[in-house]
Structure 1
């Protein structure tokens, strides 16, 4: 009897020590729940198109804090039906659910069901890392028990609904409802609630914006679960499943614009926290540009070995960017060829040379020789142009006559004077300090070139491209950084340039850009061996810049600025014609 008592005492002592050691092991780095309940997150940035439709989000997006009484009963009902039907009755850990999951997993020979309750999920989301191991599962259970003691069931459900991650950077049902459906959580329909309730299982896989078909299929499963739980009838579940329809995003590759619009946000809005930015992007125009460029690259572009392209559409009056495509597919290559790539513009640079000549007192009707020209060991050619002797400046620009452009460069102060004109209109880059600059041997970006041409259409004002029209933080309007248009050239010189650029489209190298019933002006540009092809055109109130080429600089096949780029300009204008 004494032996049994001693043994029992020893086992109790050692068992207590083992239990204490286990508790220390599982809890020594357990977070303080009270402190962890305080929200810590990255500031969010929400980009809206010019009409207010959602364009993109980054950071951690939170909506309004919601109360159960404010929500339709079917929203929390859908969540409990699919995630934790015994939420109201268990103590934080569902023994029945764990047993059911263990049996199902044993029969399947793999993990097919989980037994975590909503409280355990909340503990994991609030306090723990996503890693999967026994220690973390025990900590999750301990924290779930603490939460059940600290809060009522309604409070736990409210915390969950306001904190759960639902994909796309959205935390909480209100942020997700606004992100995916454009309405607050209090106004979601039954089928929308079902889609939201289906997201916690796999927020990325069922994201309605990324995988609409998967989101709808998951939402239908949630509706079936609600019917099985007796929350709705099977007939209503079927009817709601048939109503599910997620609209296609109007633009698939506005990522280049979103990235560009968010450059230097920390400097532009220091310490502002969450930001809501209304951008200048026109979704209808953006979609038209994307569709037309992809059609061209997939059709005639493929035959001509054109691998990439870029398009920028600006409001000529103030530089607002209405559309931007930085390549063929953003997800395949987010590198922005419209804003970052520096390529030679070819003859698209000539307007700056001609403007320098106008500012030296010449007019579009004055003449210049188009005869052959040799400077040292360099002799610029004129392609198929047959020399006529003396031609007007208007004809020289319309037909893109190289020898005439070089002579105008020499008359107007040389390469440095032409580079200074381009820089005055906003073109930054590397400029050759020799006569070849007249033929476009600079290295420039499409965005700079397009903005510079705006001055030819707006009466002579330099514009600085911008993408943010309105900024708001915590219901407070912020000043959106923007540079006002500034007089850069005389109105008379701008009008003369506009006249000559119109001649390019009317009867010169840019005839493919002409569109019936609309005044169009512009300039073509082609570099050696057709490595780059440009067209930059004016069609009030827009200026549209287009570049086609290959990332590795390989030649295209018989592509010039007056062929595919000019045709793409024409197609875009046709697409957006009222």
Structure 2
């Protein structure tokens, strides 16, 4: 029998009590701790420590899973990385623009590169590049975690001394050699592949070799690639003969060759960048503070050669495509590409033969321009896709990448906008037929005492919309816009790619600011039956790693097919013998279009009937061509187009379109089912089928050609006015 002094403990394995004999005295129990209670009491369990431990263990597990997943993902991305070879690392990093046949029409580098060997590169230049771009270059194996964290902190504090990210020099070399610098391509996959390839490059090449690859590949501006070539081109000296300030300038330029161009009139950005490089060299220990201060005092232009002759020679072959290339570069930038930092192949819609035709007719003797500085802008596109096939930015160019007159949108289009702002909306929203009556009578601007008249100061009373459009009468256009309403007019013209800052009204009916590119897009929509395609240039881009990015043309129906057809039918009458654009006539060709003239206010002091801007936009089913002529300083004395030269744009159009349509089908526009023909006055007019419309209480008139009309246009009060037509055949 168990002794009374037995005590029990829990058996951890059986959950039962084990008995011990009294000969083994029990241990004296410890008195309970007083938890703030003088009388003592039971101790409370510490659950918080338990939960902290559990959370830590879960975070540890999740961290291990995340690391393992990251490693697996990195390995997957690395396996898909493109090949990188010595030839790619040493190749010239030049982007190129190609025409629709794949022919190279423009290259980033216009100066032949002179490759520098490792021994030709001064130690000071190597130190300046490393100090600025990758201070730990000689300590990492291609990827630098410390640099990544340091760059993030420095950029956050605004003290990065030019470091813009965590990429090492080796990673930058890889990016320049096989990857695109497009912001859209900076994905996790691409970053992983870039890091993997950087480590491979570090394994197979020495640090000096990597630096040599980098300094021969970077773009330096002015069509120059490589620092050795830049030294000769900018300073006329080999690298080893350059002074510290000059070496520092070269080291800092690759980050942004355009902004840090020392040849700019305002070269303060170049100086600031050079001085940043010098300060980085001090921090790196390559030079002393005193050396940096002495170099900072040297003008950034010190030692630079005059590039005028060199630039002229390099640019002679570029003048033909200059305007088009400007538009391509702008579009590439909007798509996220930096053509100065990646060897891109940019394929375009440019037809080199049509581009040459634009250039030759603007700079030759086929069109009688009144002066050497009379300027021109022209855009030619495919109306079925919006693809720009040719564009001319100007004539008699002295510099490249200057003003692209084809895209200037601060000059009034005069009467060339009447189909877009007045008569197009009238058909679209009010269902006006081509024979709808409009008044050609004296017009006073609402709320004002000033009046708008036609070029001849005369009025034709009641005429048809067809006659008002083809003869470009001003007062009927003003009254039409009044009936259409500014809101509808703005809606219509905006849908055709021409923005308006406010709801059109008043004199907007006879002229708003527009560019040839915009008119080419708008008239293209009329030509194709009502679908608007934004004018575009690039069809595809191939990045250095061989990836192809395709850019298809996408359109949107914005106007009815009935509106497009009726506008085209009326504008056929503009291009007729003895009509407004008689100079644009191409015998037998199915075409339509509209001219426009912008004159001067009497207070401008220009001669009577002097013209500020002259326009013509015409089209077939294959092409649309919009042309502007004028002067860069139209308000200076003598800078005007004389009345006798008003047809410059239509002359130019006739030459180019005649050439362009030689091998194209000459097809007419087909009447859609939504349009009904109606013969009035021996002219086939058209109306929107089964739609009601109002004649505004005016009597209907027949479309009988007016007698005694003058086949010319003029502009009073800042827009185009009249002409004559024989009607529609």
TM-score class, shorter-chain normalisation, is 0.5 to 0.7
Partner of 2:653: 569
1:506-528 alpha-carbon deviations (Å, 9 max, x no partner): 25311211111211211011112
**In structure 1, which of residues 383, 399, 414 is the aligned counterpart of residue 471 of structure 2?**
399
Contact 2:385 2:555 in 1 (8 A): yes
Deviation at 1:362, TM superposition (A): 0.3
Partner of 1:337: 405
Partner of 2:259: none
1:7-29 alpha-carbon deviations (Å, 9 max, x no partner): xxxxxxxxxxxxxxxxxxxxxxx
Partner of 2:343: 274
Question: In 1, distance between residues paired with 2:549 and 2:88?
Answer: 30
Question: In 1, distance between residues paired with 2:117 and 2:93?
Answer: 27
Contact 2:92 2:217 in 1 (8 A): no
SS at match of 1:263: helix
Contact 1:524 1:561 in 2 (8 A): no
Question: In 2, distance between residues paired with 1:572 and 1:431?
Answer: 35
Write out aligned runs for 1:333-482 (5 A): 334-352=402-420, 353-359=422-428, 360-375=430-445, 376-384=448-456, 386-413=458-485, 415-431=486-502, 433-440=504-511, 442-482=512-552
Question: In 2, distance between residues paired with 1:326 and 1:395?
Answer: 34
**In structure 1, which of residues 499, 502, 512 is the aligned counterpart of residue 569 of structure 2?**
499
Partner of 1:540: 621
Deviation at 1:211, TM superposition (A): 5.9
1:352-410 alpha-carbon deviations (Å, 9 max, x no partner): 21011101110112221212222341321111385332211111111001111111111
Structure 2 CA distance for partners of 1:431 and 1:400, relative to 1, 3 Å: farther
Deviation at 1:416, TM superposition (A): 3.3
TM-score normalised per structure 2: 0.48
1:405-454 alpha-carbon deviations (Å, 9 max, x no partner): 111111212x33222211111002445743211111x2222211221111
Contact 1:253 1:329 in 2 (8 A): no
Partner of 2:5: none
Deviation at 1:309, TM superposition (A): 1.1
Structure 2 CA distance for partners of 1:120 and 1:296, relative to 1, 3 Å: same
1:241-276 alpha-carbon deviations (Å, 9 max, x no partner): xxxxxxx95x63312211211225355246994321
Partner of 1:226: none
Question: In 2, distance between residues paired with 1:545 and 1:372?
Answer: 31
Report which of the two structures shows the higher radius of gyration computed on alpha carbons.
Answer: 2
Question: In 2, distance between residues paired with 1:369 and 1:314?
Answer: 36
**Equivalent residue pairs, number:** 397
Structure 2 CA distance for partners of 1:267 and 1:301, relative to 1, 3 Å: closer
**1:525 maps to 2:596:** yes
Question: In 2, distance between residues paired with 1:390 and 1:128?
Answer: 82
Partner of 1:54: 104
SS at match of 2:652: helix
Partner of 2:160: none
1:270-301 alpha-carbon deviations (Å, 9 max, x no partner): 6994321111111111111011012369x632
Structure 2 CA distance for partners of 1:285 and 1:405, relative to 1, 3 Å: same
Q: Please, which runs of 5 or more residues in structure 2 have no aligned partner?
A: 1-86, 130-208, 228-304, 601-610, 663-729
SS at match of 2:633: coil
**1:322 maps to 2:372:** no
Structure 2 CA distance for partners of 1:125 and 1:287, relative to 1, 3 Å: farther
Contact 2:496 2:558 in 1 (8 A): yes
**1:551 maps to 2:632:** yes
SS at match of 1:347: helix
Question: In 1, distance between residues paired with 2:312 and 2:102?
Answer: 17
Question: In 1, distance between residues paired with 2:626 and 2:561?
Answer: 22
Q: Please, which runs of 5 or more residues in structure 1 have no aligned partner?
A: 1-36, 64-78, 84-116, 131-155, 173-201, 213-247
Question: In 2, distance between residues paired with 1:505 and 1:275?
Answer: 43
Question: In 1, distance between residues paired with 2:548 and 2:496?
Answer: 28
Structure 2 CA distance for partners of 1:300 and 1:476, relative to 1, 3 Å: same
Structure with the higher helix share, 1 or 2: 1
1:296-328 alpha-carbon deviations (Å, 9 max, x no partner): 69x63235x862110111111111111111122
Question: In 2, distance between residues paired with 1:451 and 1:405?
Answer: 22
Structure 2 CA distance for partners of 1:253 and 1:378, relative to 1, 3 Å: same
Contact 1:460 1:487 in 2 (8 A): yes
1:170-225 alpha-carbon deviations (Å, 9 max, x no partner): 679xxxxxxxxxxxxxxxxxxxxxxxxxxxxx9x999999469xxxxxxxxxxxxx
Question: In 2, distance between residues paired with 1:206 and 1:306?
Answer: 22
Deviation at 1:46, TM superposition (A): 1.3
Deviation at 1:489, TM superposition (A): 0.5
Contact 1:319 1:465 in 2 (8 A): yes
**1:289 maps to 2:358:** yes
Contact 2:612 2:641 in 1 (8 A): no
Question: In 2, distance between residues paired with 1:362 and 1:514?
Answer: 28
SS at match of 1:469: strand
**In structure 1, which of residues 490, 508, 511 is the aligned counterpart of residue 560 of structure 2?**
490
Partner of 1:148: none
Partner of 1:87: none
TM-score normalised per structure 1: 0.60
Question: In 2, distance between residues paired with 1:368 and 1:38?
Answer: 69
Contact 1:296 1:568 in 2 (8 A): no
SS at match of 1:541: coil
Question: In 2, distance between residues paired with 1:340 and 1:464?
Answer: 16
Structure 2 CA distance for partners of 1:211 and 1:60, relative to 1, 3 Å: closer
SS at match of 2:412: coil
Deviation at 1:562, TM superposition (A): 5.6
Question: In 1, distance between residues paired with 2:552 and 2:398?
Answer: 29
Contact 1:532 1:547 in 2 (8 A): yes
1:101-159 alpha-carbon deviations (Å, 9 max, x no partner): xxxxxxxxxxxxxxxx97754779995999xxxxxxxxxxxxxxxxxxxxxxxxx9xx9
SS at match of 1:51: coil
Structure 2 CA distance for partners of 1:273 and 1:163, relative to 1, 3 Å: closer
Question: In 2, distance between residues paired with 1:270 and 1:421?
Answer: 33
